[in-house]
Amino acid sequence: MFDISEEEYTSAIEAPVFTCLNHESTWLNQIDLIACKEKLSELVMMAVKTQKSENTTEQNLNALLDSFYSEWAFSGTSQKVPMSLLNSVAYTLNYRTGSTISLGMILTYVMEQLGFDVEMLVFENDIQVLLEISQGEGFLIDPCSGSQRWYIKPENDSENSLDNAFQQLFEEDVEKLFLAHQKWAFISEKRYGEAFKCVEKLMHLTDGDPYELRDRGYLLQNLNCDELAKKDFEKFIEECPDDPSIELLQSQIEEMDKHLRTIH
């Protein structure tokens, strides 16, 4: 498990943690991608030192988590830090404080480089890291605290019960979830330009999902681009005519029409 060269654990540039760092560079002017990647490499090298070949998987897991959350002091926070910062991989690497999405990506990456069979997922509406020990059994790890609980698939469950219990997150799913978290964080902070960058990326990743189209219209409206916002709202109404938000959107379109007529 632990015979890993530096080249091997610094080469996984397609991992979500790196993909999301690259996304961050489009709205964080001061981000140092090279420094962030070096910090991830350093974490893996320190993590390797916590592992012993004679230990059980559970013992090595506990050794890693003790270091990650105690010695290296990664954690969530109850302080009033903007959520867009807590979601940021760069911020979390620099300040050792983050959200479930940023901490989950970092922890998952480090564990993967040590050879653990691990993945991110949504369980009971929370992002968790799952270390699978055997088919249907494993540890669920809270990315903000490192607390863990044993999961056992009930014997009488159907073959699809794991799919029902967990929302498995593949690499692209993690990327989309990160961008969605950042989009809503930026919107709540009234940082509409940054939110617009997120929604544009989501539009590309989701092949023009109509709900991302609606959100883009909302952002364009807040960026005083009424004509473009109107087009997005009208297209959303055309694609989702039964959506409960249609009445509100139609009233907004009418207001924008009045505004545009006044301008012209």
Q: Are residues 195 and 183 in contact, defined by beta-carbon separation less than 8 angstroms?
A: yes
Residue 93 has pLDDT above 50, yes or no: yes
Q: Are residues 100 and 140 in contact, defined by beta-carbon separation less than 8 angstroms?
A: no
Q: What are phi and psi of 192, to 5 degrees?
A: -70, -30
| Least confident segment among 10-19, 70-79, 98-107, 111-120 | 10-19
| 3-state secondary structure (DSSP) of residue 252 | helix
Q: What proportions of the chain, in percent to the nearest 5, are helix, strand and coil?
A: 60, 10, 30
Mean pLDDT of 98-116: 97
The structure's pTM equals: 0.89
- Predicted local distance difference test score (pLDDT) of residue 164: 55
DSSP 154-194: -TTS-TTHHHHHEEE--HHHHHHHHHHHHHHHHHHTT-HHH
Average pLDDT of every residue of the chain: 89
Domain ranges of the chain: 6-171, 208-263
Question: Which burial class, exposed, middle or buried, applies to 3 when counting CB atoms under 10 A from its CB (0-12, 13-18, 19+)?
Answer: exposed
Q: How confident is the model at residue 123 (pLDDT cuts 50, 70, 90)?
A: confident
Q: How confident is the model at residue 165 (pLDDT cuts 50, 70, 90)?
A: low
Alpha-carbon gap, residue 224 to 67, rounded angstroms: 49
Mean pLDDT of 34-41: 96
Q: Would you say how long the chain is, in residues?
A: 264
Cβ-based neighbours of 92, under 8 Å, separated by 6 or more: 74, 86, 98, 99, 102, 103, 106
Q: Which of 63-72, 126-135, 155-164 has the highest mean pLDDT?
A: 63-72
Alpha-carbon gap, residue 127 to 108, rounded angstroms: 12
Residue 115 has pLDDT above 90, yes or no: yes
Q: How confident is the model at residue 87 (pLDDT cuts 50, 70, 90)?
A: very high
Mean pLDDT of 24-32: 90
- Predicted local distance difference test score (pLDDT) of residue 10: 42
Q: How confident is the model at residue 134 (pLDDT cuts 50, 70, 90)?
A: confident
- Predicted local distance difference test score (pLDDT) of residue 9: 44
